[in-house]
Amino acid sequence: MNIDGGKVALVFGGSRGIGAAIVERLAREGYAVAFTYISSEAAAHEIEEKVIDRGGRAKAIKADSGDAEDIRVAVSTAVDSFGKLDAVVVNAGIFRMATIEAVSEADLDEMLRINVRGVYLSIQAAAGEMSAGGRIVTIGSNVAIRTGFPGASVYQMTKAAVAAMVKGVALDLAPRGITVNNVQPGPTDTAINAGGIETLSTMSPLKRVAQPEEIAGLVAYVVNEEAGYMTGASLTIDGGFTL
């Protein structure tokens, strides 16, 4: 807990889309929020300034979520800025689409490096700086359950790995009262889905995609004290895509 008595959150991958919505929502919930970015510097500082202008506290930190040293520095910078961590959200990830015949070793390695190894290292680094009773949330994907289209096998594998990962990590951190849960969004109105919103909407039972703020709302609940008895769970929020 920081020196002002408020809570502290660190969001890995918080400059755009779902991550940015999570940063803004947690700031509104009273958290001092540090968050990482890698390429979207202007967007990151815009989010930082928006939170500060609203009377909150935020700090943008440039860090590669596939690099162990960058991850450790991001954690230490967040703690030095605001204090011990109460909530950690691991949102950073990449999506590259190709059928198995066309997947390059470079793309395979990169998705594994960021979407699996990076998630594990982020949790590992942050857990050592977390308060007892803290909250860790990973942002997975409903494709861990079902894709329904070709070309996503590597991405599906990485997100299924995250869903499995949180179960073991939840057991490791349970003695400290730290919960570890996984939020699995379906198609969401973000840059990654630009150009495909109409098609994705027709595929949905609700005939629309999610807004980033809806995903952020579920994350806000999971880090809340009321969710303290839930750990190792994967919560799917996808408008019925996987029904």
The residue ranges of every structural domain in the chain are 8-237
- The model carries a pTM of 0.95
Are residues 92 and 18 in contact, defined by beta-carbon separation less than 8 angstroms? no
Q: How far apart are CA 93 and CA 116, in angstroms?
A: 9
| Predicted confidence pLDDT, tens digits, the chain (243 residues) | 454 568 999 999 999 999 999 999 999 999 999 999 999 899 999 999 999 999 999 999 999 999 999 999 999 999 999 999 999 999 999 999 999 999 999 999 999 999 999 999 999 999 999 989 999 999 999 999 998 889 999 999 999 999 999 999 999 999 999 999 999 999 999 877 777 899 899 989 999 999 999 999 999 999 999 999 999 999 999 999 999
CATH number of the domain at 8-237, out of 3.40.50.720, 3.40.50.11030, 3.30.70.1290, 3.30.365.10?
Answer: 3.40.50.720
Q: How many CA atoms lie within 13 A of 122 on its CB side?
A: 34
Give the tokens for residue 190.
């973000």
Beta bridge partners of 36: 61
Beta strands in 13-129 (DSSP E): 32-37, 58-62, 85-90
| Coil, strand or helix at 58 | strand
| Residues designated catalytic | 155
